[in-house]
Structure formats: structure tokens, C-alpha cells
């Protein structure tokens, strides 16, 4: 390791040479390589983390280039998988560190293999199904992880230390549904960057073993309306939480709590069924989807949505049909993009 490369970081007293050496020994897993994941990956690569494992199931589209800073127009033209393009770019930034990339859809089985010998997990996903899996696996394996989320000009972050802080299940109790996404409400790049600032700063504290300086609070902000809130959530830790309580069962790692997918024979369609029956407000969803410029049609039982060549139908119980494909990964991506 060339210490002069990190000289300005080493001059920062809380890190110093000892902290830099510790950082070089650590392994970070980043799940999701969209706006949050690309920026976090680049920051940690430049900072000199020893090993970085990056994971994403998707490929690069033109709409990604506005804010996902590791990618180029050539990547969008070629529809290069995000994990492949990101790894290539990161290796060109810092050839001294180890970069491992995976083009996979994260499931509990995949996650169990990904977390081996990992010191920290960064959440850069776009849906709470995967976040709850991360939460349960991190608690089970006693790995710190940092939650991050943003949409529009709003963002939030919270650092979860197993058995010390509340976990995501404590804070949410059930998976939230029906909220806006970047594809229905848009996003400005500074909001994502602000989330990344909070996530990567907390990451550096953990990786250099300066945990005493962790924020310990959930932070949320709206850059457009100039609002910032730091909430002390310590009292929300639940002794009987199924994910982090004294008799934890890690429910989101079980089959019953996972999203179910099935290819419909002869119909070139994939059915997606959420883990539990839901009551979706189709009227509210229609309002969000109309902002995208797609065609929205509703009746008392379902909503039909068409944008470009993509056609999807969602029912009031949360079940959806993604038409025109037998690719389950693509169907899940579209579901989370528009209906999550």
C-alpha cells in the first residue's frame, strides 16, 4: 500500500496511519449500484478499503447517466451490467484494492454467500424487500450495516449495529408499500450525494474502528425545503423483535417472507406476488404513475400501466403481471421501479 496516496486522509488525526492500515484490511459489501452504490463505491475505493464486493442485477440505461457517476454513454449503448461497468471503472481508479463484482438478484441464499468475511454492508438498494433481507442477515451474522434511501430531494440514513441499536425491523415493523420511487417522483443528484456523505462517513468510522464517533441517530433531510432532522430512535429497539430480539427468527430470510415469481406458461408474462396479501390504493398509484408519461388505465379491480414497450398490470392485493418477458430478473426490476 502506497501511504503517500492517502496522505491527506492520514493527516486527518482520527484516522492517521493506523486507521489507514485498518481500512486496508477491511472488506465492504455494497448491494445496489445505482446512485447511492456508485458514489459510495467510488469514495471507498479512493479511500483505500482493502476489498470491495459490489452487487447489482441490472444493466445501464440512459436515464442512469444523470446521477450514476461511474457509467458512460458507451455503457448505456451496450446495456452493460452495472456490476461489470462499475468494477472496470473502480479498478482504473485504484488498482491496489481488490474489487469483486456479481451480476445477481439478491436472495437469502445469495446473501449468505456474499457476507462471508465481510466487515460492513452498505445498503444502496431501491426496495424494502431486499433491505429487510439485508437487515436479518446482518443481525444473524453480526455485521454492521448502513441503511440509505432517497427520492426526489429527500433522503435518510441510519447505521445499524447488531444487538446495540434498533434494527430496521424495529423501526418499520412491517415492510412499507406504495411509496414514491425515483421513477415515479424523480430524484436530484445532490439528494443522493448527501445520503452517500452520511453513509460513507459512518463507514469510515466503523472501518477505522472509531465507533465511539458514530452518529447513533436516524438522519433525514429535504434539500429542496432546507429541512434536516436527527431523530434519537434508541427507545424503538424492541426486545421481542423477530429480527434482533432475544428469540430472533430472522423472518425475512424465510421462504414465506420472500416475493414469489412465476413464469406464466404460453403468455410471455411473469407473475409477481408479494410475501403477504396487500391492499393497494390503485388511485394513489395511478396519480404517481401518470407523472412518468406512461398510459394508466384503472377499473375497480386492477391498474394497467404501459410505458414504452413495457406493459404491467397490478391488482389491489399487490399481485402484478409483467407482460412481454419471461425474464424473472427483468420483471422484478420493473415491479420495484414502478410499483414498489
Q: Is the dihedral of CA 137, 139, 141, 145 positive or negative?
A: positive
Alpha-carbon distance 223 to 215, whole Å? 20
Give the single-character DSSP code of 4: G
Query: How far lies 199's CA from each of 122, 123, 263, in Å?
Result: 8, 9, 37
Host H or E run for residue 96: none
**What ranges in the chain are assigned the alpha helix state H?**
7-10, 16-24, 35-47, 73-78, 82-93, 108-114, 128-141, 168-172, 182-185, 189-207, 282-290, 328-339
> Is beta strand 154-160 parallel, antiparallel or unpaired with respect to 218-222?
antiparallel
CA-CA distances (angstroms) from residue 4 to 17, 137, 232, 284, 329? 10, 37, 39, 55, 43
Tell me the DSSP string of 284-312. Answer: HHHHHHHTTT-EEEE-SSEEEEEETTEEE
Torsion angle of alpha carbons 69, 74, 76, 80, nearest 10°? -90
Cα–Cα nearest to 27, from 48, 53, 46 = 53
Contact present, 148 and 155 (Cβ < 8 Å): yes
Here the cell at position 49 is 478499503
Active centre residues (catalytic): 182
Amino acid at each position: 500500500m502506497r501511504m503517500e496516496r492517502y496522505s491527506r486522509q492520514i493527516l486527518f488525526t482520527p484516522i492517521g496511519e493506523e486507521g489507514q492500515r485498518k481500512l486496508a484490511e477491511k472488506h465492504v459489501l455494497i448491494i445496489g449500484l445505482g446512485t447511492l452504490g456508485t458514489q459510495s463505491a467510488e469514495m471507498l475505493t479512493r479511500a483505500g478499503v482493502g476489498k470491495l464486493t459490489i452487487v447489482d442485477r441490472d444493466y445501464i440505461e440512459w436515464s442512469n447517466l444523470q446521477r450514476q457517476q461511474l457509467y458512460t454513454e458507451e455503457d448505456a449503448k451496450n446495456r452493460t451490467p452495472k456490476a461489470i461497468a462499475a468494477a472496470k471503472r473502480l479498478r482504473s481508479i485504484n488498482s491496489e484494492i481488490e474489487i469483486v463484482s456479481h451480476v445477481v438478484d439478491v436472495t437469502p441464499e445469495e446473501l449468505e454467500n456474499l457476507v462471508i468475511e465481510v466487515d460492513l454492508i452498505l445498503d444502496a438498494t431501491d426496495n424494502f424487500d431486499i433491505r429487510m433481507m439485508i437487515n436479518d442477515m446482518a443481525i444473524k451474522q453480526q455485521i454492521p450495516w448502513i441503511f440509505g434511501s432517497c427520492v426526489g430531494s429527500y433522503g435518510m440514513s441510519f447505521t445499524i449495529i447488531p444487538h446495540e441499536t434498533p434494527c430496521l425491523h424495529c423501526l418499520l415493523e412491517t415492510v412499507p408499500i406504495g411509496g414514491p420511487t425515483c421513477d415515479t417522483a424523480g430524484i436530484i443528484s445532490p439528494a443522493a450525494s448527501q445520503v452517500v456523505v452520511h453513509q460513507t462517513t459512518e463507514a469510515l468510522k466503523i472501518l477505522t474502528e472509531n465507533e465511539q464517533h458514530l452518529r447513533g441517530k436516524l438522519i433525514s433531510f429535504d434539500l429542496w425545503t432546507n429541512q434536516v432532522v436527527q431523530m434519537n430512535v434508541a427507545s424503538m429497539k424492541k426486545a421481542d423483535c423477530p429480527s434482533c430480539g432475544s428469540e430472533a427468527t430472522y423472518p425475512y430470510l424465510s421462504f414465506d417472507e420472500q416475493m414469489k415469481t412465476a413464469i406464466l406458461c404460453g403468455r410471455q408474462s411473469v407473475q409477481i406476488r408479494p410475501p403477504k396479501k396487500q391492499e393497494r390504493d390503485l388511485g394513489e398509484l395511478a396519480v404517481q404513475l401518470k407523472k412518468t408519461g406512461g398510459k394508466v388505465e384503472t377499473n375497480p379491480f386492477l391498474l394497467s400501466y404501459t410505458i414504452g414497450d413495457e406493459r404491467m398490470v397490478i391488482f389491489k392485493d399487490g399481485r402484478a403481471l409483467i407482460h412481454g418477458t419471461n425474464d424473472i430478473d427483468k420483471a422484478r426490476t420493473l415491479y420495484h421501479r414502478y410499483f414498489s
